[in-house]
């Protein structure tokens, strides 16, 4: 008989490893082990056996739960995740809310661009809301673009989403009503101090914003005037405390800052930008800048 781990022991071990909400996590790990256990028994009754122990040990080493079970929910949609890119975060849903507020008339959005799409979570959540829109997601990391493409298929959105491998909007000649980005924005020297789940298991390509954390904004902002359609809007995620600096960079690039939305913790998270001179109040006939 193999030595297995009881749920109670698992709770104690994960708690000792400094993990919060352990009961919930152990329940999810147990369900995942049971679903993976072979045999004719119904999933609820299957002996999780050694599989469960192995999963708990991975979590004990602070591997993110999402990577262990392979999925994470974002905007009530289920995404496959992988070590190739960032795991979707609840605070990034602030960008979706800001987009819905920016375009109360949903049909005005026909083209959406997601720069650094990762799992595709931002683009696919937006396509689920803007039902008449087509979207393009780009990522420098081919494995991420592939993952996003798989997520689009799984969510039934692949007919309206395409993914490209490349640097930001390089070679993009189209204009978009809505451009979104959750770029890497952690200061390079601070990555090691993030929680182990992030620092040890999420790739630098999704986190490292250069020495001051702002490299991505410096690359993206000057491109927005050629990417945004008339009355188009760009919404970018920012790190905690980065608001003033990012707004300064946007203005220096000739962009108009139309607002900043806070996440559920009250942290300014989504910065809404337009091309300076665009007079939204003039409606669709307004003169673009
Ligand atoms: N918000 C992420 C974190 O918690 C950083 C994601 C990013 O760089 N875009 O570390």
Torsion of CA 73, 163, 178, 288, to 10 degrees: 170
Closest CA to 123 of 142, 149, 154, 87: 149
d(Cα 247, Cα 223) in Å, to the nearest integer? 16
d(Cα 78, Cα 73) in Å, to the nearest integer? 5
pLDDT at 60: 97
d(Cα 40, Cα 130) in Å, to the nearest integer? 43
Structure tokens at 150: 């798989």
Q: Which atom of ligand 1 is nearest to the CA of 239?
A: 1
Task: Supply the residue whose CA is at minimum distance from atom 8 of ligand 1.
Answer: 184
Å from CA of 42 to ligand 1 middle: 39
Counting residues of the chain whose pLDDT is more than 70, the rounded percentage is: 90
Instruction: Give burial (CB, 10 Å; 0-12/13-18/19+) of 195.
Output: exposed
Q: Is the pLDDT of residue 43 over 80?
A: no
Å from CA of 85 to ligand 1 middle: 11
The pLDDT-based confidence of 3 (bands split at 50, 70, 90) is low
pLDDT tens-digit series, residues 63-105: 999 999 999 999 999 999 999 999 999 999 999 999 999 999 9
Residue of 140, 192, 194, 207 best suited for mutating to test ligand 1, as the one with most atoms within 8 Å of CB: 207
Beta strand 228-237 with 161-165 is unpaired
Task: Supply the residue whose CA is at minimum distance from atom 9 of ligand 1.
Answer: 184
d(Cα 36, Cα 47) in Å, to the nearest integer? 10
Q: Is the pLDDT of residue 236 over 50?
A: yes
- Say what angle helices 142-154 and 121-129 make with each other, to 10 degrees: 30
What dotted CATH number matches 75-283?
A: 3.40.50.150
266: Cβ contacts below 8 Å, ≥ 6 apart: none
d(Cα 235, Cα 260) in Å, to the nearest integer? 9
pLDDT tens-digit series, residues 263-285: 999 999 999 999 976 444 444 43
The pLDDT-based confidence of 220 (bands split at 50, 70, 90) is very high
pLDDT tens-digit series, residues 139-188: 999 999 999 999 999 999 999 999 999 998 887 889 999 999 999 999 99
**Beta carbon of 56 within 6 Å of any ligand 1 atom:** no
Q: Which residue has the tokens 């959540």?
A: 125
The pLDDT-based confidence of 288 (bands split at 50, 70, 90) is very low
pLDDT at 18: 94
Q: Which atom of ligand 1 is nearest to the CA of 182?
A: 9
* 3-class SS of residue 35: helix
pLDDT at 134: 98
**Beta carbon of 194 within 6 Å of any ligand 1 atom:** yes
pTM, entire model = 0.91
pLDDT at 281: 44
Q: Is the pLDDT of residue 200 over 70?
A: yes
Å from CA of 200 to ligand 1 middle: 13
pLDDT at 45: 54
pLDDT at 4: 85
Q: Is the pLDDT of residue 40 over 60?
A: no
188: Cβ contacts below 8 Å, ≥ 6 apart: 208, 209, 210, 211, 213
pLDDT tens-digit series, residues 110-125: 999 999 999 999 999 9
Q: Is the pLDDT of residue 2 over 60?
A: no
**Beta carbon of 198 within 6 Å of any ligand 1 atom:** yes
Å from CA of 17 to ligand 1 middle: 22
**Beta carbon of 184 within 6 Å of any ligand 1 atom:** yes
Å from CA of 3 to ligand 1 middle: 39
d(Cα 189, Cα 60) in Å, to the nearest integer? 25
Q: What is the mean pLDDT of residues 32-48?
A: 66
Extents of the domains making up the chain: 7-61, 75-283
**Beta carbon of 236 within 6 Å of any ligand 1 atom:** no
Q: Is the pLDDT of residue 289 over 60?
A: no
Q: What is the mean pLDDT of residues 204-212?
A: 98
């Amino acid at each position: 008989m193999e030595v297995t781990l009881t749920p109670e022991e698992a709770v104690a071990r994960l708690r000792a490893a400094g993990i919060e909400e352990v009961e919930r996590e152990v329940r999810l790990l147990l369900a995942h082990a049971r679903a993976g256990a072979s045999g004719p028994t119904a999933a609820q009754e299957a002996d999780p056996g050694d599989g469960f122990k192995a999963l708990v040990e991975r979590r004990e080493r602070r591997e993110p739960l999402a990577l262990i079970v392979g999925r994470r929910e974002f905007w009530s949609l289920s995404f496959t995740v992988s070590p190739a890119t960032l795991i979707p975060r609840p605070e990034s849903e602030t960008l979706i809310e800001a987009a819905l507020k920016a375009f109360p008339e949903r049909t005005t959005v026909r083209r959406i661009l997601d720069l650094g799409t990762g799992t595709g979570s931002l683009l696919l959540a937006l396509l689920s809301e803007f039902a008449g829109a087509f979207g393009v997601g780009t990522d420098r990391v081919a494995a991420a673009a592939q993952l996003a493409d798989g997520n689009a298929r799984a969510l039934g959105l692949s007919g309206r989403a395409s993914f490209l491998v490349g640097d930001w909007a390089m070679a993009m000649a189209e204009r978009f009503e809505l451009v979104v980005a959750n770029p890497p924005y952690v200061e390079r020297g601070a990555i090691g101090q993030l929680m182990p789940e992030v620092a040890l298991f999420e790739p630098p390509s999704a986190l490292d914003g250069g020495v001051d954390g702002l490299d991505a904004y410096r690359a993206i902002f000057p491109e927005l005037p050629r990417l945004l359609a008339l009355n188009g809007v760009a919404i970018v995620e920012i790190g905690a405390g980065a608001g003033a600096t990012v707004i300064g960079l946007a203005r220096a690039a000739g962009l108009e800052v139309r607002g900043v939305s806070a996440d559920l913790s009250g942290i300014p998270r989504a910065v809404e930008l337009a091309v300076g001179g665009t007079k939204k109040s003039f409606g669709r006939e307004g003169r673009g800048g």
